[in-house]
A = this chain, B = another copy of it.
Amino acid sequence: MKIGRCRLRKIKNMEEFAALSGISRPTVSKYFNDPESVRPKTRVKIEAALKEHDYRPNIYAVNQNRKLTKNVGIVVPLLVDPYFAEIARNLEQRCIDAGYRPTLFSAHGNPQFEVEVLESLRSIKPAGVLLAPLGRASDKKVLEKFCDDIPTLIFDSSVDEFGLAFVGSDNRQFTTHITDYLCRTGEPPCFFEMKTPANPNAHRRRQAYVHAMGSFGQTPQVISIEGEGWGLEEIGRVGGHKALEEGLFQTHTVLCSNDRLAIGLLTACYERGVSVGRQAGNAIRVAGQDGHPHSRYTCPPLTTVSHDYDAVSKTSADTLFAAIDGHVEPWKSTRIEGKLVLRDSA
């Protein structure tokens, strides 16, 4: 169907393409590894030929021979959670802009799957990996071994001091900030969380809550609900029903450990006819933490502390790229502050 003789014959290898562009193969190879590295005049010739014949180097042959690939793995614990999907998207774009080939993986909330992801990641011999671990459920030994073998930046939730560095949000600041806000605008909050959270950030948030309440001269109250796994909305809903039924909330302000739990709690409130909001006349106030993409559309819209998605992903990506380029620095942890998002729920 194609018109034009030049397109009739498909180029199969670099040898052939080099011949058609009038340049030697090694020089063409050099061009593909870095277009800037060849003389402008030859670059023009190559790019002209490129337009005519749309040739692309065989990625498998390239990766077999290069000491280091341009692949970067992006691993998140649960891709169906829009929070992780959003940060993964952000990271993906940064990898592409930096000339890498990102590949997306999700552990789907399953520790065994996380191990398999790391194994399959090994097989693609990535230049580096951006990894948000499952956390508590992660296989630490496997994780440590992986970080030893492959340049890995841990983000979102840290596991010991594995990898090149850690970049995440400042959970203590998150909780302190919103606790402060809630105290200043009404009744001090109690804290609604999972008893055995999958994500280790949850512990920091509880601690920060207790600490913040102390410094405001208030008595903290933590409600820890049952539940396992990553179905946080359902856990929050069921736990919310239980807490409301048994009158567990000693105040009329509830700070949730995270937005997904809060979303579940809002559903429970609705189902029990408990009105939520910061206006007078509402039964309770509910706040979350994370700035979940969905938090704007709950009823009422959820007051929360939002991750600085851009800053977290930019710092993560830049740190990894620097390390790949040889700028290795001692392990360090970067924690980025969140911003209060005021909405109607609290």
Q: Chain A: residues with CB nearer than 8 A to chain B?
A: 56, 58-61, 63-64, 79-82, 85-86, 88-89, 101, 103-106, 108, 120, 122-125, 233-234, 237, 263-264, 266-267, 269-271, 293-294, 296-301, 344
User: Once the chains are docked, how many angstroms separate the CA of A25 from the CA of B129?
Assistant: 32
User: Once the chains are docked, how many angstroms separate the CA of A237 from the CA of B300?
Assistant: 13
Is the beta-carbon distance between A301 and B267 smaller than 8 angstroms?
yes
Q: List 27 A-B contacts (CB under 8 A).
A: A56-B123, A58-B64, A60-B60, A60-B63, A79-B85, A79-B88, A79-B89, A79-B104, A80-B82, A80-B89, A80-B293, A82-B82, A85-B85, A89-B106, A103-B103, A104-B105, A104-B106, A233-B294, A237-B297, A267-B296, A267-B298, A267-B301, A269-B299, A270-B299, A270-B300, A271-B344, A299-B299
Is the beta-carbon distance between B89 and A297 smaller than 8 angstroms?
no
User: Once the chains are docked, how many angstroms separate the CA of A237 from the CA of B299?
Assistant: 12
Which residue in B85, B270, B297, B299 is a CB contact (below 8 Å) of A233? B297
User: Once the chains are docked, how many angstroms separate the CA of A269 from the CA of B300?
Assistant: 10
Task: Given A101-B120, A294-B294, check contact A299 B266 (CB 8 Å).
Answer: yes
Select from chain B the residue with minimum beta-carbon distance to A59. Answer: B123
Q: Kindly provide the distance from the CB of A120 to the nearest chain B CB, expressed in whole angstroms.
A: 7
Chain B residues, CB < 8 A from A269: 299
Select from chain B the residue with minimum beta-carbon distance to A264. Answer: B297
Task: Given A80-B86, A85-B79, A293-B80, check contact A61 B59 (CB 8 Å).
Answer: no
Is the beta-carbon distance between A263 and B63 smaller than 8 angstroms?
no
Number of copies: 2
Chain B residues, CB < 8 A from A85: 79-80, 82, 85
Select from chain B the residue with minimum beta-carbon distance to A233. Answer: B297
Select from chain B the residue with minimum beta-carbon distance to A101. Answer: B120
User: Once the chains are docked, how many angstroms separate the CA of A223 from the CA of B94?
Assistant: 40
Is the beta-carbon distance between B297 and A263 smaller than 8 angstroms?
yes
Chain B residues, CB < 8 A from A64: 58, 60-61, 64
User: Once the chains are docked, how many angstroms separate the CA of A85 from the CA of B296?
Assistant: 20
Q: Kindly provide the distance from the CB of A17 to the nearest chain B CB, expressed in whole angstroms.
A: 15
User: Once the chains are docked, how many angstroms separate the CA of A299 from the CA of B300?
Assistant: 9
Chain B residues, CB < 8 A from A88: 79
User: Once the chains are docked, how many angstroms separate the CA of A135 from the CA of B229?
Assistant: 35
User: Once the chains are docked, how many angstroms separate the CA of A200 from the CA of B294?
Assistant: 24
User: Once the chains are docked, how many angstroms separate the CA of A9 from the CA of B60?
Assistant: 26
Is the beta-carbon distance between A89 and B108 smaller than 8 angstroms?
yes
Chain B residues, CB < 8 A from A293: 80
Select from chain B the residue with minimum beta-carbon distance to A269. Answer: B299
Select from chain B the residue with minimum beta-carbon distance to A106. Answer: B89
Is the beta-carbon distance between A299 and B82 smaller than 8 angstroms?
no
User: Once the chains are docked, how many angstroms separate the CA of A252 from the CA of B266?
Assistant: 25
Select from chain B the residue with minimum beta-carbon distance to A123. Answer: B59
Is the beta-carbon distance between B104 and A104 smaller than 8 angstroms?
yes
User: Once the chains are docked, how many angstroms separate the CA of A263 from the CA of B266?
Assistant: 14
